[in-house]
Structure 1
């Protein structure tokens, strides 16, 4: 699965992802969890998968913060016009 693509509902259900973790980065979380399970959660074994997932989470956070700033700016402009 490519970075940033959301996994389908059936893929997330098959991977038993909790609903709270079903977001934009779920396609990266599934292979990370598989790697973690196969390596008994040895932290140094799944570094590439973990870094890809954490970068996706960070990029999604930045996207949401930019969207929030844009919404606040639009709301302020509407309030100033009234």
Structure 2
């Protein structure tokens, strides 16, 4: 299952129910749930759960690109505000 966009954020209760660590509670947490289930079933062997891990890592990459784009927009807005105040 290839993802093309970042999934919606899970609710706090849903993340707590699936025992997702706070450090991993981001937009890709919905993909971490099946990955962790697969890891537990496969004994954490590195050659298992390849598709699930790829989907999760790809989501992390897409989320990183989204955050960088937001940061660039904030920088442009600040530069425009600074130029307007001069």
Q: Compute the TM-score of the two structures, normalised by the length of structure 2.
A: 0.86
> Greater relative contact order: 1 or 2 (C-alpha under 8 angstroms, separation 6 or more)?
2
Deviates more, 1:11-20 or 1:33-42: 11-20
RMSD: 1.5
Aligned to 1:37: 40
Report deviation, 1:20: 1.6
Deviates more, 1:3-12 or 1:31-40: 3-12
Aligned to 1:20: 23
Q: Compute the TM-score of the two structures, normalised by the length of structure 1.
A: 0.90
Q: Distance in 1 between matches of 2:80 and 2:8?
A: 34
* Gapped regions of structure 1 (runs ≥ 5): none
Aligned to 1:57: 60
Moved over 2 A (4+): 5-11
* Gapped regions of structure 2 (runs ≥ 5): none
Q: Distance in 2 between matches of 1:6 and 1:70?
A: 22
